[in-house]
């Protein structure tokens, strides 16, 4: 290892430590590295990650200033690399590099509009490009179709002709065709994603990389006293009231959404709620220690059928450090957590407690569930990281008896030998079932919770049994019956999003056989719930749904009586 590589390794090692001696070492290393020319891509990337960590977790103002100054030099550092070395940083998300990924339509549309000169289709890496011959006829006039038939010029020459001399990229032309096609948005999304187009993005400018991703934040929180990893009760933190949560003003909401999209795209990821984010439904909280937690709602037309859904996005001193989503149904929140790899040596457990604290304040959940994918089922990254033990330390427990028994056996081995590490084969066994955390007021048997997938299957059976599989007829019949039962004959005069929500959820409400015989207060409450699903914010819907006991017990009874119901999501 050369001198610069040794300096980078030393900085990476000392970054998550916070004694006075460690602070002095960090400053010395940062000064030396500022003068070092690093040619090895791996060392440069390791330096980048250490600097990002120090930006989020600075000891003091001096460390923060040096880290930010060093990150600001990265575009120039990357540009000075040899082309072959720069190519090895492809897909890293670092400033002045490139990446390619088969983004979905919503994210691609946003990228093309936000970075029009830097985003294009990489045809060589697009696995479904040859399907354009079949897809384009859905987007063009019938009189043009022969140009795409066998023996015609083909789609490549057709794209050039369709530009008509306009200065358009292939991607911008395709976006234009999709937007003007008149196809429903769901169809456009399916059509675009079936092409598996690789979108190439040149990360140019301050808003287009992980390197320069920090949002304005003041005042910074310094970690002179170290990290908050122990010494607090996880459940007590989750249950503690959070008075600071509030709707974000529109400019703040839009900046948070843009930051979340960049943070995901530069890591080759997507999230439904960020792709279809609702700037009118962003809630922010500042629980301390430099944290800002944003709960991001979904545009009404893209909301989940039954569950209330908010994604979360976490900034630490303005630096994106974590994201995920929470799906709430009748008081149970299923959570998906991801801490970006650069920051996993930080305050992950405390940050998670504050995320759940925000959800608790907004949605009022009483039970939290971690899906088995989060634990490592079909997820090698979570398996290798020992995700099961992360959640177990926080109080989550498996309810499957076999998994619980295996877990207890492993903890007995660890108690006897602190150096013992569970092998991957055991971790796979521990990841086959969900884990639960019961909060004050939570259900005694969370394994019996109602799942949206169970209700969806009941709807499918209803449509097949009573309407011969005709979903249009089923929807018309359901809305008519539910409107009568709930006393809302004028629901068609509601705003479009509320009408759409009422139609979609009527198929669920129509499952209840005695709906028209419910007490009037319960029927009025259910009408408010169905309408709230299409409201400007989804927060009232989730709250109202969680409080409607008769609706929940009615659906639970139907699921319990359904043949062959396994209860697995």
Q: How many other C-beta atoms lie within 10 A of the C-beta of residue 164? A: 8
d(CA 355, CA 287) in angstroms, rounded, equals 9
Residue that is written with structure tokens 């409201």 in the block: 535
User: Residue 152: what pLDDT?
Assistant: 79
Report if residue 353 sits inside a domain. Answer: yes
Q: How many other C-beta atoms lie within 10 A of the C-beta of residue 84? A: 8
User: Residue 385: what pLDDT?
Assistant: 87
Residue spans of beta strands (DSSP E) within 203-305: 246-247, 277-288, 291-298
d(CA 485, CA 473) in angstroms, rounded, equals 18
Q: Domain ends where: 57, 87, 117?
A: 87
Q: Are 248 and 293 in contact (CB under 8 A)?
A: no
Where residue 447 falls among pLDDT bands split at 50, 70, 90? low
Whether residues 307 and 438 fall in one domain:
yes
Q: Residue 324: which CATH number?
A: 3.40.630
Whether residues 171 and 51 fall in one domain:
no
- Computed over every residue of the chain, the mean pLDDT equals 94
What pLDDT digit, counting tens, does each position of 41-68 carry?
999 999 999 999 999 999 999 999 999 9
What pLDDT digit, counting tens, does each position of 84-113 carry?
999 999 999 999 999 999 999 999 999 999
Could you tell me which of 220, 225, 222 has the C-alpha nearest to residue 18?
225
Report if residue 412 sits inside a domain. Answer: no
d(CA 546, CA 394) in angstroms, rounded, equals 25
Q: Domain ends where: 179, 202, 225?
A: 202
Report if residue 530 sits inside a domain. Answer: yes
Where residue 403 falls among pLDDT bands split at 50, 70, 90? very high
Whether residues 49 and 153 fall in one domain:
no
Whether residues 361 and 438 fall in one domain:
yes
Q: Can you read off the two tokens belonging to residue 2?
A: 């050369």
What pLDDT digit, counting tens, does each position of 244-292 carry?
899 999 999 999 999 999 999 999 999 999 999 999 999 999 999 999 9
Whether residues 346 and 238 fall in one domain:
yes
> Per-residue DSSP letters for 45-82?
HHHHHHHHHHHHS-SSHHHHHHHHHHHHTHHHHHHHS-
What pLDDT digit, counting tens, does each position of 454-491 carry?
999 999 999 999 999 999 999 999 999 999 999 999 99
Q: Are 61 and 169 in contact (CB under 8 A)?
A: no
> Per-residue DSSP letters for 372-428?
HHHHTTT-HHHHHTTHHHHHHHTT-EE-SHHHHHHHHHHHHHHHH-TT----HHHHH
Q: What order of strands is seen across the sheet that includes strand 291-298?
A: 246-247, 277-288, 291-298, 308-316, 319-329, 332-339, 367-370, 435-438, 397-398
d(CA 30, CA 24) in angstroms, rounded, equals 10
Coil, strand or helix at 424: helix
Distance of CA 333 to the CA centre of its chain: 15
d(CA 215, CA 255) in angstroms, rounded, equals 8
d(CA 557, CA 535) in angstroms, rounded, equals 29
> Per-residue DSSP letters for 174-211?
HHHHHHTS---HHHHHHHHHHT-PPEEEE--STTSSST
Q: Are 220 and 258 in contact (CB under 8 A)?
A: no
Q: What are phi and psi of 158, to 5 degrees?
A: -65, -40
Q: Can you read off the two tokens belonging to residue 27?
A: 């400053």
d(CA 246, CA 478) in angstroms, rounded, equals 37
Mean pLDDT of 35-40: 92
Whether residues 195 and 255 fall in one domain:
no
Coil, strand or helix at 514: coil
Domains held by the chain: number = 4
Mean pLDDT of 121-134: 90
Domain of residue 112: give its range.
98-202
Report if residue 304 sits inside a domain. Answer: yes
Is residue 527 scored above 80 in pLDDT? yes
Q: Can you read off the two tokens belonging to residue 446?
A: 């969370």
What pLDDT digit, counting tens, does each position of 177-194 carry?
999 999 999 999 999 999
Where residue 568 falls among pLDDT bands split at 50, 70, 90? very low
Residue spans of beta strands (DSSP E) within 350-467: 367-370, 397-398, 435-438
The pTM (predicted TM-score) of the whole model is: 0.94
Kindly give, in sequence order, each residue whose CB lies less than 8 Å from that of residue 111, ignoring residues fewer than 6 positions away.
103, 119, 199, 201, 265
Report if residue 501 sits inside a domain. Answer: yes
Report if residue 383 sits inside a domain. Answer: no
The dihedral over CA atoms of 38, 42, 48, 49, expressed in degrees to the nearest 10, equals: -150
Eight-state DSSP code of residue 145: G
Q: Can you read off the two tokens belonging to residue 439?
A: 């909060």
Using alpha carbons, list the distances in angstroms from residue 97 to 42, 43, 51, 479.
Answer: 14, 15, 17, 53
Whether residues 469 and 438 fall in one domain:
no
d(CA 188, CA 535) in angstroms, rounded, equals 25
Coil, strand or helix at 102: coil
Whether residues 171 and 140 fall in one domain:
yes
435-438 and 308-316 beta bridge pairing: unpaired
User: Residue 446: what pLDDT?
Assistant: 57
Kindly give, in sequence order, each residue whose CB lies less than 8 Å from that of residue 200, ignoring residues fewer than 6 positions away.
98, 99, 100, 119, 120, 121, 122, 125
Report if residue 543 sits inside a domain. Answer: yes
Q: Domain ends where: 38, 60, 87?
A: 87
Q: Can you read off the two tokens belonging to residue 200?
A: 């190439």
What pLDDT digit, counting tens, does each position of 328-387 carry?
999 999 999 999 999 999 999 999 999 999 999 999 999 999 999 999 999 998 998 889
Whether residues 107 and 196 fall in one domain:
yes
Is residue 563 scored above 80 in pLDDT? no
What pLDDT digit, counting tens, does each position of 212-235 carry?
999 998 899 999 999 999 889 999
Eight-state DSSP code of residue 300: G
Mean pLDDT of 157-169: 93
Q: Can you read off the two tokens belonging to residue 144?
A: 């043009």
Longest dimension (CA), the chain: 80
Whether residues 292 and 438 fall in one domain:
yes
Q: Can you read off the two tokens belonging to residue 159?
A: 């794209």
Residue that is written with structure tokens 């960090």 in the block: 26
**Dihedral sign, Cα of residue 492, residue 497, residue 502, residue 503:** positive
Whether residues 459 and 542 fall in one domain:
yes
Where residue 449 falls among pLDDT bands split at 50, 70, 90? confident
Report if residue 358 sits inside a domain. Answer: yes
Q: Can you read off the two tokens belonging to residue 297?
A: 């709602």
Could you tell me which of 449, 427, 450 has the C-alpha nearest to residue 438?
449
Whether residues 71 and 117 fall in one domain:
no
């Amino acid at each position: 290892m050369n001198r610069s590589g040794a300096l980078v390794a030393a900085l990476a090692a000392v970054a998550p430590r916070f004694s006075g001696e460690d602070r002095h070492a960090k400053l010395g290393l940062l000064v030396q590295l500022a003068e070092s020319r690093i040619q090895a891509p791996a060392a440069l990337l390791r330096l980048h990650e250490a600097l990002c960590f120090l930006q989020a977790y600075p000891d003091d103002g001096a460390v923060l200033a040096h880290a930010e100054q060093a990150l600001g030099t990265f575009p120039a550092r990357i540009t000075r690399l040899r082309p072959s070395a720069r190519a090895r940083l492809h897909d890293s998300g670092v400033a002045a590099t490139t990446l390619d990924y088969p983004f979905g339509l919503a994210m691609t549309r946003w990228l093309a509009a936000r970075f029009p000169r830097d985003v294009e289709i990489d045809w060589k890496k697009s696995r479904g490009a040859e399907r354009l011959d079949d897809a384009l006829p859905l987007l063009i006039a019938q009189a043009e179709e022969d140009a795409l038939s066998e023996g015609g010029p083909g789609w490549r020459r057709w794209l050039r002709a369709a530009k008509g001399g306009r200065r358009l990229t292939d991607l911008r032309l395709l976006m234009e065709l999709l937007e003007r096609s008149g196809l429903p948005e769901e169809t456009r999304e399916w059509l675009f994603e079936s092409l598996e187009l690789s979108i190439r993005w040149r990360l140019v400018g301050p808003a287009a990389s992980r390197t320069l991703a920090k949002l304005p934040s003041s005042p910074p929180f310094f970690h002179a006293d170290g990290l908050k990893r122990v010494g607090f009760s996880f459940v007590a933190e989750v249950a503690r009231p959070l008075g600071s949560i509030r709707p974000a003003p529109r400019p703040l909401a839009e900046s948070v959404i843009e930051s979340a999209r960049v943070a995901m795209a530069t890591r080759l990821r997507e999230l439904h709620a960020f792709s279809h984010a609702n700037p009118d439904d962003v809630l922010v909280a500042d629980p301390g220690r430099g944290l800002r937690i944003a709960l991001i709602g979904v545009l009404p037309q893209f909301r989940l059928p039954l569950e209330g859904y908010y994604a979360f996005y976490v900034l630490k001193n303005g630096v994106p450090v974590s994201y995920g989503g929470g799906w709430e149904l009748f008081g149970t929140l299923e959570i998906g957590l991801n801490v970006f790899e650069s920051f996993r040596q930080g305050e992950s457990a405390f940050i998670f407690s504050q995320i759940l604290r925000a959800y608790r304040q907004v949605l009022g959940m009483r039970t939290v569930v971690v899906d088995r994918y989060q634990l490592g089922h079909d997820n090698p990254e979570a398996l290798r990281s020992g995700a099961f033990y992360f959640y177990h330390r926080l109080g989550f427990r498996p309810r499957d008896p076999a998994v619980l028994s295996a877990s207890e056996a492993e903890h007995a081995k660890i108690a006897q030998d602190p150096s013992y590490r569970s092998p991957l084969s055991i971790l796979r066994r521990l990841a086959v079932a969900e884990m639960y955390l019961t909060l004050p007021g939570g259900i005694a048997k969370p394994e019996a919770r109602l799942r949206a997938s169970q209700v969806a299957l009941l709807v499918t059976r209803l449509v097949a049994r009573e309407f011969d599989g005709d979903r249009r007829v089923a929807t018309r019949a359901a809305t008519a019956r539910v409107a009568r039962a709930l006393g809302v004959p004028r629901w068609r005069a509601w705003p479009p999003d509320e009408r759409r929500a009422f139609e979609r959820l009527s198929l669920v409400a129509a499952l209840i056989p005695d709906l028209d015989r419910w007490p009037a207060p319960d029927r009025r409450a259910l009408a408010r719930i169905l309408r709230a699903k299409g409201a400007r914010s989804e927060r009232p819907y989730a709250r109202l749904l969680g409080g409607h006991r008769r609706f929940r017990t009615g659906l639970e009874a139907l699921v319990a009586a359904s043949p062959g119901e396994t209860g697995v999501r």
